[in-house]
Every structure is written in structure tokens, then in C-alpha cells.
């Protein structure tokens, strides 16, 4: 990687980055690869001015930065260049430094596309309308009959609805209550909210049932089985949890960071170790 030094750094930027498990995944992997890189969490509150953050990411000891809530849209805007996926989604979760420029990627979309496969969805219900929901929407690649979108912030729902319509998808924005009522008929339920991080949290869609043939995609990963995943399993539904997403997102990062191909198998080992500690 150009300009990388012996103490090169990878960052995770987000309002609650220090609570994330990504450093626990990446640092053991980097150590096994014999790399001097370190992966560090950097808490950046939603209201913080981002000029200093961008400036820090251009320093010579920085390799790249993962970006999580609520800064994925900021990352898309601050990137000097970006992939088609970033430009289409308006969200970026990986900024790679190239000299004095930042190149944006969206490995959330890559991971979601792998995990969703080519399965046609008659009705996708998106709970949340941030960067993760955008990734799921684009990963569907029009392989969907209808999409219902909700968020606690109606403006966020409206923005994602416009994106869906621009993509030629039959979509509607609904209230949170309406979304809970629709959960039982959806063939895909995506939890792109933080609901489930707390061990006492209920299913993201409330207490209602889910269809037995549904796919429940929960972006949340935690040291416990989330209520959304537990409820889906009880119904016999197919499940993708946050650990699955974390794995595929990391696999997608390996070539973008120029890491050794052995990193793919080491990632699985590191993820297993991380899960066993939580």
C-alpha cells in the first residue's frame, strides 16, 4: 500500500465504534499475517464536525477506515473517488487512502449480495433506512416484487424510497406500525436498525409472526442471539445474522487492502475466536 509505514493504522469510525467487534476480528488476523498494521476504534459523535476526521485519514500512517453509523453518507460525500456501488447507494463503509485522496467502497453491498444470493423476494420489508438498508436494497438488484420501507425518521424513509423508485423498484414508505403489520407477509425482513443490541430487545418488527418461507436478515451482531433471529428460527425461517454479514464484509475487504490471500481462511478462525469470547 503506497506510503504505508511500519505503524500503519486502520480505523473504524462511528458514533459507537468502541462498542463494535471489528477490532477484535481484525487485530488477531493482522498479527497472524505478520503485519504491523493495527485496527483501532474511533468514536465520532453524530454532531461532530468531520473536517478533522477527513484530515486525519489523509495522514501517511493511515491505510483505510471502515465507516459505520451514522457516517456512511458523509463518507460517500467526502470520498474523492468511489465505486459505482457507492455512487448508486449514496453510502460508503470503507475509505482507502491513496496518497492525498480517499477512495470509497461499499463492502456492505458486496456482503449482502453474497448472503441474499439470487433468491427472488416477493415482498421485502426494510426496517431502518440508513446505510445498511441502502446496501440491502441495492443487493436485491431488482430481484424483488415489492419493497416496504420504514424508519423512525420519515425523512430517511423518504430518501430511501426515492432511491428505490429511481432503481425502478415498486416501493412504498410505511409507518413503523404499518411495517410491524406487514412483517407476517414479507418474504424478506431486513433489520437495519440497532434493535437487538440490547439483550432485552424484542424482535425488530415487534411481537407478530413471520412467514415460514421468509428470510430474516439481521445486521446486528452481539454476544447473544438477537430476538429477531430467535423468533425467525422458531418460525422455521432462513436466517442471516450480523456475524454472517461481518464475515462477508471482511472477506470483501481483503483484496481492497492488498492483504495476503491467506487472510480469507484466517478470517474464519478469527471470527470463531471472537464469537467464543462473547
Contacts 24+ apart (CB under 8 A), 48-51: 50/74, 50/78
Of residues 130, 121, 131, the one with CA closest to residue 94: 131
Residue 197 catalytic? Answer: no
Catalytic residue selected from 72, 146, 197, 275? 72
Whose cell is 493495527? That residue is 38
Neighbouring CB atoms inside 10 A of 278's CB total: 11
Give the span between the Cα atoms of 157 and 132, in whole angstroms: 13
CA distances from 103 to 58, 100, 119, 247 (A): 11, 10, 31, 22
Q: How many CA atoms lie within 13 A of 70 on its CB side?
A: 10
Yes or no: say if 61 and 53 are a contact pair by the CB < 8 Å rule. Answer: no
Q: Catalytic residue positions?
A: 72
Amino acid at each position: 500500500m503506497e506510503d504505508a509505514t511500519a505503524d500503519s493504522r486502520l480505523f473504524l469510525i462511528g458514533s459507537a465504534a468502541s462498542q463494535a467487534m471489528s477490532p477484535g476480528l481484525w487485530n488477531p488476523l493482522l498479527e497472524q499475517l505478520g503485519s504491523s498494521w493495527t485496527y483501532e476504534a474511533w468514536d465520532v459523535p453524530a454532531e461532530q464536525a468531520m473536517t478533522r476526521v477527513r484530515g486525519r485519514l489523509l495522514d501517511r500512517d493511515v491505510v483505510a477506515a471502515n465507516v459505520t453509523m451514522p457516517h456512511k453518507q458523509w463518507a460517500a460525500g467526502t470520498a474523492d473517488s468511489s465505486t459505482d456501488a457507492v455512487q448508486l447507494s449514496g453510502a460508503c463503509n470503507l475509505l482507502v487512502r491513496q496518497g492525498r485522496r480517499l477512495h470509497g467502497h461499499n463492502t456492505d453491498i458486496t456482503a449482502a449480495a453474497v448472503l441474499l444470493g439470487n433468491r427472488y423476494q416477493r415482498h421485502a420489508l426494510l426496517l431502518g433506512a440508513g446505510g445498511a438498508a441502502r446496501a440491502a436494497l441495492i443487493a436485491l438488484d431488482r430481484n424483488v416484487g415489492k419493497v416496504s420501507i420504514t424508519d423512525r425518521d420519515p425523512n430517511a424513509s423518504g430518501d430511501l424510497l426515492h432511491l428505490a423508485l429511481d432503481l425502478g423498484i415498486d416501493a412504498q414508505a410505511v409507518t413503523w406500525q404499518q411495517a410491524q403489520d406487514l412483517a407476517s407477509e414479507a418474504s424478506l425482513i431486513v433489520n437495519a436498525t440497532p434493535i437487538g443490541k440490547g439483550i432485552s430487545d424484542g424482535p425488530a418488527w415487534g411481537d407478530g409472526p413471520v412467514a415460514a418461507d421468509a428470510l430474516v436478515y439481521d445486521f446486528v451482531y452481539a454476544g447473544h442471539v438477537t430476538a429477531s433471529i430467535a423468533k425467525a428460527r422458531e418460525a422455521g425461517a432462513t436466517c442471516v445474522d450480523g456475524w454472517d454479514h461481518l464475515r462477508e464484509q471482511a472477506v470483501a475487504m481483503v483484496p481492497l487492502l492488498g492483504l495476503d490471500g491467506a487472510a480469507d481462511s484466517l478470517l474464519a478462525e478469527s471470527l470463531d475466536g471472537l464469537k467464543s469470547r462473547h
